[in-house]
Amino acid sequence: MRKILIVDDHTMVCEGIKRVIEDVEGVEVWGAVHSGEDALKVLRKDPVDIVLMDVHMPGIGGLGATREIKRLFPNVKVIALSGTDDAPYPSKMMEAGASGYVAKGSDMPELLEAIDVVLKGEQYLSRVVAQKVALSRTTKKGAESPFDELSDRELQVAQMIVDCVKTKDIADKLNVSDKTVSTFRKRIFNKVGVESDVELARLAMRYNVLGLI
């Protein structure tokens, strides 16, 4: 019996996935948690076979959690789940060690297919994601998304800025100081070429990479 851990900060998403997987022969839901930090706590006690990882969550987020899981538990497979199917998230999650990336807009049979493929030791990308990743790799550098230049943590901060999360709340979620968040904001603005939160939000809408959870 293969064990699956669901990691998503939306309880309804966890429950929906759990109900579907429970009927699949040969796998069982070992648990459901709501943050990357909690996922690591579970794995330290009892590693599972597959982690279904939401990309956008408070704290270390899906990217940070995936990197840590693959560093500490290299045999654990991670399948990313996200409402964002555009670059840079799919590429970054795969670079972090994820074995699969499934858009939340996909139907449940596709998620089950992803689980089956990953358990066989192969990689899986949702069809729409695979097409966009392939296209982004053939695009000239000058036309690529400016968000490709951001680090994992910068992307996470940018996501929260676009979602209108206040500086203090961002600091609390990431366990850093307000000054550190301000430094991140300036660095993000410089990298993507904007001068305000509003411009960042407009740029995010243009490239369709943030705020889609």
In percent, how much of the chain has pLDDT > 70? 87
Predicted structure pTM score:
0.72
Distance from chain centroid for Cα 180: 22
Q: How confident is the model at residue 95 (pLDDT cuts 50, 70, 90)?
A: confident
Q: Per-residue pLDDT for 3 more than 60?
A: yes
What is the phi/psi pair of residue 92, to 5°?
A: -70, -40
Mean per-residue pLDDT, 9-31: 87
- Residue 72's pLDDT band, with cuts at 50, 70 and 90, is very high
pLDDT band at 87 (very low <50, low <70, confident <90, very high): low
CA-wise closest residue to 62 among 34, 87, 20: 34
pLDDT confidence of residue 213: 36
- 10 has a pLDDT exceeding 80: yes
Asked if 210 and 204 count as a contact pair (C-beta separation under 8 A), the reply is yes
CATH 3.90.420.10 fits 145-207, yes or no: no
| Closest of 208, 53, 78, 193 to residue 132, by C-alpha | 208
* Residue predicted with more confidence, 182 or 93: 182
pLDDT band at 142 (very low <50, low <70, confident <90, very high): very low
- Residue 132 confidence (pLDDT): 61
pLDDT at 195: 92
Give the start-to-end residue ranges of the domains of the chain. Answer: 2-137, 145-207
- Asked if 146 and 206 count as a contact pair (C-beta separation under 8 A), the reply is no
Closest of 30, 32, 39, 23 to residue 2, by C-alpha: 30
pLDDT at 139 over 70: no
Give burial (CB, 10 Å; 0-12/13-18/19+) of 126.
buried
Give the chain's mean pLDDT. 85
CATH code, 2-137: 3.40.50.2300
**What mean pLDDT comes out for the span 100-124?**
88
Cis amide bond preceding 47, omega within 30: no
pLDDT number for residue 84? 65
Tokens read off for 69? 């899981």
pLDDT in tens, 172-209: 888 889 999 999 999 999 999 999 999 998 888 887 66
